[in-house]
């Protein structure tokens, strides 16, 4: 097998423009795009693919997406077999890739123990079995909850949060998700750092290569800093489901605007200036455009665009069944619990 692949005769998305009749080289050993002038690949070691006018561009990696096209990643209910769930997941992957998303963290809203144990083994990372023909791929599950501040639950199930996420002494993550599920299939956990036991959980997650993200939280700035010191490096959907910034108590936004002498210099896992990354729902509904710009201008290198999409993405407007017996009203991109003002993800 040729070590190098050369894509020719296509359009290449480069520096915000589509470059005509451009080419891309890939080293199949490292999987990386290379500069042929530096690596000087030999012709006999190169496989040439004629794109015939097709486009090469980066894929979108969505670290927070709950479902799409009518399929809910947490939706293995008693009426659905595991085979049906896998078929639904497969079909969703095929359609998701048409939106430009090539890989993602299938995200579960707060659930009960038995649901985590059933579903997490089905949402693990594709890993070496990756096949581009199968569409978008999972990089591992994102469990959002149930270790939240109950005042910042958004559209999540209050029962799951109160019965699992707000116990004292606190339940351990591995008790709720299942130990093997947590360490084999979960890549990211959103939790509130001010909750009893949360800092120990953040330490355990980061020591095991799982991203601990701060979110659905009533944390003060100092409590959020404690979460970062414990090992967290991401904020879940900045502005939504957290306290607003106050000039004397900036809350989580204070991490984004961290004073220069207070950045986490010894943390190479964070963005390159020592501040945490942050997810942002930049749809103009969850966050005002001015607030989007404020975050971007303050800390552009930390911004991670997320969709936080739910299963109704790509579905018709109207009233739809939601989790836990609730119903949700969809009007374009706006989703609200029936009879309430709550926006999904707020």
Mark the binding-site residues, compressed into ranges.
144, 216, 237
Sign of CA dihedral 230, 232, 238, 240: negative
Site for Zn ion in 327-346 (CB under 5 A): 345
Q: State which residue, 216 or 299, has the beta carbon closest to Zn ion.
A: 216
Q: State which residue, 12 or 161, has the beta carbon closest to Zn ion.
A: 161
Q: Which of 16, 20, 273, 308 is catalytic?
A: 308
Distance CA 252, CA 257 (A): 9
Sign of CA dihedral 206, 212, 218, 224: positive
What's the min distance (Å) between Cβ of 255 and Zn ion? 17
Closest by Cα among 32, 22, 19 to 5? 32
Check if the beta carbon of residue 255 is closer than 8 Å to that of residue 235.
yes
Check if the beta carbon of residue 320 is closer than 8 Å to that of residue 326.
no
What's the min distance (Å) between Cβ of 13 and Zn ion? 30
Distance CA 303, CA 295 (A): 8
Interface mask toward Zn ion for 286-325; x: CB under 5 A: ----------------------------------------
Check if the beta carbon of residue 2 is closer than 8 Å to that of residue 45.
yes
Q: Rounded to the nearest 10 degrees, how much is the dihedral formed by the CA atoms of 217, 220, 223, 228?
A: 70
Residue 50 in 3-state DSSP? strand
Q: State which residue, 140 or 345, has the beta carbon closest to Zn ion.
A: 345
Distance CA 246, CA 124 (A): 39
Q: Is 308 an active-site residue?
A: yes
- Extract the annotated binding site for Zn(2+): 144, 216, 237
What's the min distance (Å) between Cβ of 147 and Zn ion? 13
DSSP annotation string for 206-251: HHTT-EEEE-S----HHHHHHHHHHT--EESSTTTTSPPP-SS--T
What's the min distance (Å) between Cβ of 112 and Zn ion? 18
The footprint of Zn ion on this chain (CB under 5 A) covers a number of residues equal to: 1
What's the min distance (Å) between Cβ of 216 and Zn ion? 6
Closest by Cα among 151, 154, 163 to 107? 154
Q: State which residue, 227 or 345, has the beta carbon closest to Zn ion.
A: 345
Site for Zn ion in 274-293 (CB under 5 A): none
Q: State which residue, 178 or 345, has the beta carbon closest to Zn ion.
A: 345
Closest residue to Zn ion, judged by C-beta, is: 345
Residues acting as catalytic residues: 308
Binding site for Zn ion (CB under 5 A): 345
């Amino acid at each position: 097998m040729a070590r190098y692949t050369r894509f020719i005769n296509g359009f290449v998305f480069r520096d915000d423009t589509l470059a005509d009749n451009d080419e891309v080289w890939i080293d199949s050993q490292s999987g990386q795009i290379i500069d042929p002038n530096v690596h000087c690949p030999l012709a006999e070691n190169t496989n040439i693919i004629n794109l015939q006018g097709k486009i090469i561009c980066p894929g979108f990696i969505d670290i927070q997406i709950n479902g799409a096209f009518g399929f809910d990643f947490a939706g293995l209910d008693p009426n659905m077999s595991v085979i049906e769930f896998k078929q639904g997941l497969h079909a969703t992957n095929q359609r998701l890739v048409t939106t430009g998303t090539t890989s993602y963290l299938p995200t579960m809203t707060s659930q009960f123990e038995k649901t985590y144990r059933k579903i997490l083994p089905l949402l693990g990372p594709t890993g070496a079995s990756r096949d581009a023909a199968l569409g978008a791929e999972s990089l591992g599950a994102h469990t959002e909850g149930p270790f939240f501040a109950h005042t910042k639950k958004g559209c999540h199930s209050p029962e799951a949060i109160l019965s699992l996420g707000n116990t004292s002494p606190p339940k351990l993550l591995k008790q709720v998700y299942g130990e093997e599920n947590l360490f084999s299939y979960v890549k990211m956990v959103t939790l509130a750092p001010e909750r009893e036991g949360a800092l120990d959980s953040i330490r355990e997650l980061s020591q095991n290569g799982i991203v601990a993200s701060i979110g659905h939280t009533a944390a003060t700035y100092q409590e959020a800093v404690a979460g970062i010191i414990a090992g967290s490096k991401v904020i879940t959907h900045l502005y939504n489901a957290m306290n607003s910034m106050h000039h004397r108590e900036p809350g989580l936004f204070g991490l984004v605007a961290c004073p220069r002498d207070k950045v986490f210099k010894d943390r190479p896992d964070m963005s390159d200036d020592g501040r945490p990354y942050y997810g942002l729902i930049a749809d103009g509904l969850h966050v005002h455009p001015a607030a989007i710009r404020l975050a971007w201008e303050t800390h552009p290198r930390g911004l991670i665009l997320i969709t936080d999409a739910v299963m109704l993405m790509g579905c018709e407007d109207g009233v739809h069944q939601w989790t836990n017996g609730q119903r949700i009203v969809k009007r374009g991109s706006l989703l609200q619990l029936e009879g309430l003002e709550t926006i999904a993800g707020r």
